[in-house]
Amino acid sequence: MPTQPFIDYNVYTVSLKQDDLPQTASSTATPARRGLTPSERYLAYFLVFAFASGALAHTLPAVLPVTRYTTDGLLLVLNGLLIFSLYQRNRDSRLWIWLLLAYLFTFATEAIGVATGAIFGEYVYGATMWWQWLGVPFVIALNWCALTLATNDLAARIVDGPLRTALLASVIIALYDVAIEPVAISLDYWQWADNIIPLQNYLMWAVVAFIISLPLQWLRIRYRSPLLPVYLFAQLFFFIVLNLAL
């Protein structure tokens, strides 16, 4: 019986490793550039609803007394959910370290500022944010952290580089405070000596924001999310509306 000639069919093993598969736009997107996930979308709706309804509630005399007792809790929930969502998206454990250090630094700065008047000027916190220690509401430092993350995200959309991003973020947060101050005084978040907001206050807002923004940028901590602009502008809407209404 004659033997059959050997035929090479060039059969190759197919690798199904992820790196060998074609990459789509969604699979190559960085966490910061991905669109909102379903849970983030619900949180975005909640942020918009909370700040919009809060603005309305503060204009209604019958509801206003209630809002004075809910400010601490609401800010804690909003900021807490936002920061946890940032971690869920980016999975960078260094964010928690930055958050702890930034919280301690801003709380200490506020405590020294209230006690001495040497940092922001002479001011005291009112009774609206009643959960306090050393004359400083606990939620204030958390608000510093959330707002700093949001302004850094906005700055990173405009400029490149750690130093320029931190500088622009510090300018943005100081300008943001221009909208905050009149409302904060009207709602007794805090009060200034002689009812005068010193220029020093805005300058030190920028300085403090720069100090905590720089390590965030230099260390390239992953924090960015499309939720941050929602938070930033929803809260800005709250303050603009109340500036016009109060």
* Alpha-carbon span 197 to 166, nearest angstrom: 25
Query: Any idea of the CA torsion for 186, 191, 192, 195, to the nearest 10 degrees?
Result: 40
Task: Please state the rounded mean pLDDT for residues 218-235.
Answer: 95
* Alpha-carbon span 215 to 141, nearest angstrom: 17
* Alpha-carbon span 226 to 238, nearest angstrom: 19
Lowest mean pLDDT segment, chosen from 19-23, 57-61, 80-84, 134-138: 19-23
Lowest mean pLDDT segment, chosen from 60-69, 165-174, 223-232: 60-69
Task: Please state the rounded mean pLDDT for residues 34-58.
Answer: 91
Query: pLDDT at residue 206 above 80?
Result: yes
What's the pLDDT band for 203 if we cut at 50, 70, 90? very high
Query: pLDDT at residue 164 above 70?
Result: yes
What's the pLDDT band for 180 if we cut at 50, 70, 90? very high
Q: How many residues does the chain have?
A: 246
Instruction: Provide the sign of the torsion angle of the four alpha carbons 200, 169, 36, 94, taken in this order.
Output: negative
Q: Where are the domains of the chain?
A: 32-245
Rg of the chain taking only CA atoms, in angstroms = 24
Give the pLDDT of residue 15. 37
Give the pLDDT of residue 32. 63
Give the pLDDT of residue 31. 64
Query: pLDDT at residue 110 above 60?
Result: yes
Task: Please state the rounded mean pLDDT for residues 209-219.
Answer: 96
Give the pLDDT of residue 35. 85
Query: pLDDT at residue 24 above 60?
Result: no
- DSSP structure string for 143-202: HHHHHHHHHHHHHHTT--SHHHHHHHHHHHHHHHHHHHHHHHHHTTSEEEGGG---HHHH
